[in-house]
C-alpha cells in the first residue's frame, strides 16, 4: 500500500462504492520555471518526490501514476519555458499552451470523462427563462 493515509483513503472510497473498481490517480508535481538556486532546489525535490510516488504507485493495487513530465520537460530534462506564462515571475502559472498540453495528458488517463471545458461553460438563457422583472414575486406568510 502507498502509506497508511493513502491506504485508509482508498479503503474509504472502496467502502463507499463496493461494486465499483476504484482506481486512484496520483499526478506528478510539475517543475517550476526559473534559474534561481531556490527554483533549482525546488525542482530537485520535485523530481525526487515524483520518483518516490511513481515507485509507490507501482507497488499498490488500483493506483495509477499520472506522469506529466512530457508536458513540462524536454528531452534534456530541462523545463519547457513555453509551457509557462511569460507574465508570471514565480514560474508556477501555465501558459494557455501549457494548460492545453497538460489537459491532453490528463484526459488520456480519464478517457471516460466528457469534455470538461464545455461542461463548465455558463449556460445561457434560450429566451424561455423570464428576466428578473418578469419573475413572480414570492410573498411571505406575513403578507
Comparing C-alpha atoms, which of 103, 43, 45 is closest to residue 73? 43
Q: Which residue has the cell 485508509?
A: 8
pLDDT at 8: 79
DSSP state of 79: B
pLDDT digits (tens, 9 = 90+) for 11-44: 787 788 878 777 778 889 999 999 999 999 999 9
Average pLDDT over residues 61-81: 89
Task: Choose from 18-32, 77-91, 98-112 the range with maximum mean pLDDT.
Answer: 77-91
Across the strands, what pairs with 84? 94
Average pLDDT over residues 43-66: 87
Class of the CATH domain delimited by 4-113: alpha beta
Rounded to two decimals, the pTM is 0.65
Amino acid at each position: 500500500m502507498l502509506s497508511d493515509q493513502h491506504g485508509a483513503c482508498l479503503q474509504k472510497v472502496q467502502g463507499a462504492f463496493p461494486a465499483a473498481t476504484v482506481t486512484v490517480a496520483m499526478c506528478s508535481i510539475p517543475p517550476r520555471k526559473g534559474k534561481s538556486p531556490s527554483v533549482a532546489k525546488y525542482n530537485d525535490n520535485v523530481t525526487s518526490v515524483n520518483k518516490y510516488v511513481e515507485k509507490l504507485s507501482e507497488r499498490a493495487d488500483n493506483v495509477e501514476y499520472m506522469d506529466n513530465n512530457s508536458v513540462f520537460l524536454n528531452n534534456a530534462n530541462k523545463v519547457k519555458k513555453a509551457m509557462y506564462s511569460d507574465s508570471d515571475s514565480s514560474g508556477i502559472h501555465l501558459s494557455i499552451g501549457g494548460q492545453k498540453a497538460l489537459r491532453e495528458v490528463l484526459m488520456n488517463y480519464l478517457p471516460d470523462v466528457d469534455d470538461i471545458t464545455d461542461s463548465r461553460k455558463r449556460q445561457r438563457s434560450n429566451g424561455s427563462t423570464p428576466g428578473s422583472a418578469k419573475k413572480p414575486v414570492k410573498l411571505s406568510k406575513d403578507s
